[in-house]
């Protein structure tokens, strides 16, 4: 049964709202039968910066390989890591 939007509590923080939705059935507040699919073409996945120490000769080889493919070397590393993980699955 759908409750009016006014029944939603006022959240003091994103963490408080996250906790609420983790423990509450959204069907109580939203009529999902009227939901429509949307596309978000400009949405970019979250990324996390890491520090990775590589031997200088290895990094130089990666940069040469990236240059041959005309892509940034960090992008090439991400592609290679993804391909390796997919192959291992």
Question: Tens of pLDDT along 18-41?
Answer: 999 999 888 888 888 889 999 988
The residue written with tokens 């892509």 in the block is: 71
Q: Give one word for 66, left, alpha or beta, with left for phi > 0 and alpha for psi -120 to 50.
A: alpha
Say whether pTM exceeds 0.75. Answer: no
CA dihedral 31, 39, 11, 23 (to 10 degrees): 60
Domain assignments of the chain as residue spans, ordered by start: 1-33, 52-89
The residue written with tokens 């940034």 in the block is: 72
Map 7-37 to HEC letters. HCCCCCCHHHHHHHHHHCCHHHCCCHHHCCC
């Amino acid at each position: 049964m759908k409750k009016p939007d006014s029944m939603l509590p006022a959240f003091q923080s994103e963490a408080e709202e996250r906790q609420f939705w983790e423990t509450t059935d959204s069907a109580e507040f939203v009529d999902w039968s009227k939901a429509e699919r949307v596309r978000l073409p400009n949405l970019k996945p979250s990324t996390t910066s890491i520090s990775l120490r590589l031997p200088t000769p290895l990094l130089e080889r990666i940069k040469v390989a990236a240059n041959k493919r005309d892509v940034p070397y960090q992008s090439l590393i991400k592609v290679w890591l993804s391909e390796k993980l997919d192959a291992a699955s």
